[in-house]
């Protein structure tokens, strides 16, 4: 941060010389001089000791808040973390873990990663790291990252408690690059419909998509459900490359423009893997930015059907600017528009705080439950290639509306999740009974068909809730019972197998997926919706 301060002072010195030389100043130069001079005066004349680095950062943050909700300052320490998920890898030991009763518990080692190579297994508990006790209140996610992540090639020693063995097992693990997958699930829902769940738009996403698509096509896929729910976005170029996989050559994908950024267009380059088969995209209020570019292009070109709820509405383009100390300003420079001309960004004229309350306002207005609660003026009407009416004004409106499942709304379910009781109970159960479950059911498909949540499991969840000080309400349980039982089964499946198996269990009671299957199974209805009749 010292270099940043010197940078401001250098600007001040330069501008002072400019004033002395009686050269005209622009508003930008005058304001830069004011800011640099203010920081100089605070550091050298203020009555008390100050942290000038913190003052400088706070000044930058405050200035950006006056602009829009997505322009942001990122400190040097946070730049690498902010890029990590999009770059698609980090360096560490390669385990998925959970903190269960202040103890690092391995859910699964990354296949082919450093931990798996030395014999770390699901269910192992890390008791010591490099000889230091690694349990108790001091252990949180930051502690785990600090002690287990590190540069490729460096070593870490862990002492592990495994099962009922009283002796700790010592492992020396050599850290390596660990991939972060952007596709959470890719499997067949039936003999013809494939399903892909995309978590983010990262560097390796297109490669992952092609591998998943080819795998599903080899299994007989003729229709695809592409799930973007909860996907907050990522790289613009990745979204463009994904659109390329679904539409024909030389079609407009997206364009951007701003006061200082002339209109720039991106068009499809070549026919992709899947330009003619039946296609459904699932979106919700958590689908943002790159998700909206992809689903907006699909909708505007009448390439597929959009099912779900109105997307988030983030259509501002941020460009990173490096500051002298390695920190960054991500400044909004333009807006995204879909091929029909719709602006994706929702309004933010009332300020950042009001903007942040948008999802609460949607809930209060009933938008999560009733499609007719959403009203758009005629001025926001646009037309797709085939002449269907679509609306601008922020976010992508689906072709078919799916309300929020009211099972989510029970206070009991919310508290079981919020206080970690549901997750902790299912993790404990999965780890303790992993071998027994695999021996009894053999594989996941057999488990999915035949495993049922019995009263003993419900009683176990109730006990876990009581331990977490969750008041058990039988009426609320009955309201959410079907959903809670499915969650128990899905979370156990995740802990015994992989994340994909969680989504496979939940699909049977997923309103969006079930509606998509219905539409894809009805050729006449599918075509009718795409024609807007």
pLDDT for the residue numbered 14: 46
pLDDT for the residue numbered 105: 82
Phi, psi of 473 (to 5 degrees): -115, 115
Q: What tokens appear for 307 in the block?
A: 């099912």
- pLDDT tens for residues 396-428? 999 999 988 877 778 898 889 888 889 889 988
Query: What residues have CB less than 8 Å from 454, skipping those under 6 apart?
Result: none
Q: What is the DSSP string of 290-324?
A: HHHHHHHHHHHTT-SEEEES------EEEEEEE-T
Distance of alpha carbon 258 from alpha carbon 94, whole angstroms: 42
Contacts by residues 497-502 (CB-CB < 8 Å, ≥ 24 positions apart): 497/444, 498/108, 499/184, 499/185, 500/184, 500/185, 500/186, 500/187, 501/444, 501/448, 502/185
In terms of phi and psi (left: phi > 0; alpha: psi -120 to 50; beta: otherwise), the region of 445 is alpha
- Residues of the chain predicted below pLDDT 70: 1-25, 80-89, 111-112, 533
Distance of alpha carbon 9 from alpha carbon 224, whole angstroms: 58
Q: What tokens appear for 207 in the block?
A: 């490669």
pLDDT for the residue numbered 427: 83
pLDDT for the residue numbered 89: 57
CA distances to 61, 101, 444, 488 from 492, rounded to whole Å, are 43, 18, 11, 6
Distance of alpha carbon 159 from alpha carbon 176, whole angstroms: 19
| C-alpha angle 132-124-420 in degrees, rounded to nearest 5 | 95
Please check whether residue 111 is in contact with residue 122, taking contact to mean a CB–CB distance below 8 angstroms: no
CA distances to 119, 165, 254 from 428, rounded to whole Å, are 21, 17, 47
The pTM assigned to this predicted structure is 0.82
Distance of alpha carbon 443 from alpha carbon 427, whole angstroms: 19
pLDDT for the residue numbered 103: 84
DSSP 224: E
Q: Outline where 46-161 has alpha helix (H).
A: 52-65, 76-87, 114-118, 141-148
């Amino acid at each position: 941060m010292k270099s940043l301060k010197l940078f401001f002072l250098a600007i001040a010195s330069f501008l002072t010389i400019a004033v002395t030389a009686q050269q005209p100043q622009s508003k930008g130069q005058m304001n830069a001089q004011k800011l640099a001079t203010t920081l100089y005066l605070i550091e050298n004349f203020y009555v008390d000791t100050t942290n000038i680095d913190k003052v400088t950062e706070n000044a930058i943050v405050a200035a950006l808040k006056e602009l829009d909700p997505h322009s942001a300052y990122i400190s040097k320490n946070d730049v690498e973390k902010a890029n990590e998920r999009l770059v698609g890898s980090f360096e560490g030991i390669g385990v998925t873990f959970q903190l269960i009763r202040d103890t690092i518990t391995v859910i699964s080692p990354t296949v082919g990663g450093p931990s798996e190579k030395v014999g770390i297994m699901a269910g192992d508990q890390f008791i010591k790291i490099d000889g230091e006790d690694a349990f108790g209140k001091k252990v949180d996610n930051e502690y785990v990252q600090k002690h287990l992540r590190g540069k490729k090639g460096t070593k870490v020693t862990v002492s592990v408690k495994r099962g009922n063995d009283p002796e700790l097992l010592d492992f020396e693990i050599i850290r390596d690059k660990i991939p972060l997958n952007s596709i959470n699930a890719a499997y067949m829902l039936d003999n013809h419909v494939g399903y892909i769940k995309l978590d983010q738009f990262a560097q390796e996403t297109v490669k992952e998509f092609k591998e998943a698509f080819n795998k599903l096509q080899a299994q007989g896929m003729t229709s695809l459900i592409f799930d973007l729910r909860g996907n907050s976005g990522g790289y613009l170029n990745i979204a463009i490359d994904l659109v390329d996989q679904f539409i024909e050559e030389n079609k407009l994908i997206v364009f951007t423009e701003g006061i200082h950024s002339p209109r720039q267009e991106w068009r499809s380059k070549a026919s992709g893997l899947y330009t003619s088969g039946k296609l459904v995209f699932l979106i919700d209020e958590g689908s943002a930015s790159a998700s909206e570019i992809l689903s907006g292009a699909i909708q505007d070109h009448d390439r597929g059907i959009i099912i779900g709820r109105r997307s988030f509405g983030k259509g501002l383009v941020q460009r990173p600017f490096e500051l002298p100390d390695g920190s960054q300003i991500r400044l909004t420079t333009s807006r995204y528009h879909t091929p029909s001309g719709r602006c994706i960004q929702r309004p933010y004229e009332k300020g950042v705080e009001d903007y942040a309350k948008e999802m609460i306002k949607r809930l209060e207005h009933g938008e999560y439950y009733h499609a007719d609660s959403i009203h758009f003026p005629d001025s926001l009407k646009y037309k797709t290639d085939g002449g269907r009416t679509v609306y601008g004004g922020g976010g992508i409106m689906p072709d078919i509306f799916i309300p929020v499942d009211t099972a989510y709304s029970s206070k009991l379910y919310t508290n079981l999740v919020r206080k970690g009781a549901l997750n902790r109970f299912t993790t404990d159960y999965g780890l303790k009974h992993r071998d027994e479950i695999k021996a009894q059911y053999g594989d996941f498909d057999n488990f999915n068909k035949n495993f049922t949540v019995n009263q003993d499991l419900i009683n176990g969840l109730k006990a876990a809730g009581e331990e977490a000080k969750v008041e058990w309400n039988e009426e609320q349980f009955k309201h959410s019972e079907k959903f809670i039982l499915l969650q128990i089964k899905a979370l156990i499946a995740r802990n015994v197998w992989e994340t994909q198996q969680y989504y496979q269990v939940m699909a049977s009671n997923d309103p969006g997926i079930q509606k998509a299957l219905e539409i894809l199974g009805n050729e006449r209805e599918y075509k009718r919706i795409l024609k807007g009749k």
